[in-house]
């Protein structure tokens, strides 16, 4: 079974802090994704990566950056956390390029910025 | 941008009844997927239906796709308490972009 793990289930940070969210998948997937999920808004894509060191902006990249130095690991960075970044963050991976493949999700990180 | 829109937003039924959720989308697609999310957890893939398919089954799940109406439905038969979750549809944008576009979800509650 594919396993996607996220570094924290719950995280509380202060405004202005730099925040790192890490995601690791163990099935050699090429594609990895970072979403945020807010009530009533569904999942919104922040960034995705289809290969090591490759990244592409999603719908809401402002205030975020990402890093993919190894195939199995995809990090989301909040350079200077703000209260409007309080949200559930979900990481996902999928096997091949293209959208015809299912995405496998981690358990999520609920981030609160005070 | 949000393409899929689920209907209803919330659904509460008795255990053993069937549950039907609908998803509408705006542009042409290559495929449509349904996912389940248990409370406070990550999403789990349920089923994928391609644009040239009209119906697909997986256990107690039945998905239909009507590309002329740009809509899909997910039917869960003989519901169980464990089916309590939020259900999301996700579509591609009909192009080679890797992105999936998600609806806001239907919250399903199964009453014992």
Cβ contacts (< 8 Å) between B98 and chain A: which residues? 31, 48, 50, 56, 97-99
CA dist B15 and A84 (Å) reads 39
B75-106: pLDDT as tens digits = 999 999 999 999 999 998 666 557 788 888 99
The answer to whether B48 faces chain A, any CB pair under 8 Å, is: yes
The answer to whether B39 faces chain A, any CB pair under 8 Å, is: no
- Taking an 8 Å cut-off on Cβ atoms, the answer to whether B88 and A43 are in contact is yes
The overall average pLDDT reported for chain A is 92
Question: How many CB atoms sit inside 10 A of residue B49's CB?
Answer: 19
User: CB of A91 within 8 A of CB of A5?
Assistant: no
Cβ contacts (< 8 Å) between A4 and chain B: which residues? 42
Residue A107 pLDDT? 94
Instruction: For residue A20, give both structure tokens.
Output: 């790192």
> Residue range A51-73: average pLDDT?
94
Cβ contacts (< 8 Å) between B106 and chain A: which residues? none
| A-proximal residues of B, 53-82, CB under 8 Å | none
A1-34: pLDDT as tens digits = 669 999 999 999 999 999 999 999 998 899 999 9
User: CB of A86 within 8 A of CB of B17?
Assistant: no
Per-residue pLDDT of chain B (112 residues; tens, 9 = 90+): 345 678 888 999 999 999 999 999 988 888 899 999 998 788 999 999 999 999 999 999 999 999 999 999 999 999 999 999 999 999 986 665 577 888 889 999 999 9
Q: Cα-atom radius of gyration of chain B, to the nearest Å?
A: 13
Cβ contacts (< 8 Å) between B2 and chain A: which residues? 41-42
User: CB of A57 within 8 A of CB of A48?
Assistant: no
Query: Cβ-count burial of A111 within 10 angstroms (0-12 exposed, 13-18 middle, 19+ buried)?
Result: buried
Nearest-by-Cβ selection for A90 from B30, B42, B96: B42
């Amino acid at each position: 079974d594919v396993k996607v793990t996220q570094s924290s289930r719950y995280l509380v940070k202060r405004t202005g802090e730099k925040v790192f969210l890490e995601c690791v998948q163990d099935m050699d997937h090429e594609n990895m994704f970072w979403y945020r999920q807010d009530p009533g808004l569904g999942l919104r894509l922040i960034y995705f990566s289809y290969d090591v060191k490759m990244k592409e902006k999603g719908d809401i990249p402002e205030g975020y950056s990402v890093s993919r130095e190894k195939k199995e690991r995809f990090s989301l960075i909040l350079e200077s956390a703000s209260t409007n970044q309080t949200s559930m963050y979900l990481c996902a991976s999928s096997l091949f390029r293209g959208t015809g493949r299912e995405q496998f999700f981690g358990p999520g990180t609920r981030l609160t910025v005070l | 941008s949000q393409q899929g829109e689920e209907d209803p937003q919330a659904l509460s039924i008795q255990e053993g009844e069937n549950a039907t959720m609908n998803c509408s989308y705006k542009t042409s697609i290559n495929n449509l997927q349904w996912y389940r999310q248990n409370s406070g957890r990550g999403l789990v893939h349920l089923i994928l239906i391609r644009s040239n398919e009209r119906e697909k089954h997986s256990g107690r799940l039945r998905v239909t796709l009507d590309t002329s109406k740009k809509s899909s439905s997910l039917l869960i038969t003989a519901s169980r308490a464990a089916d309590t979750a939020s259900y999301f549809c996700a579509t591609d944008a009909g192009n080679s972009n890797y992105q999936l576009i998600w609806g806001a979800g239907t919250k399903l509650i199964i009453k014992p």
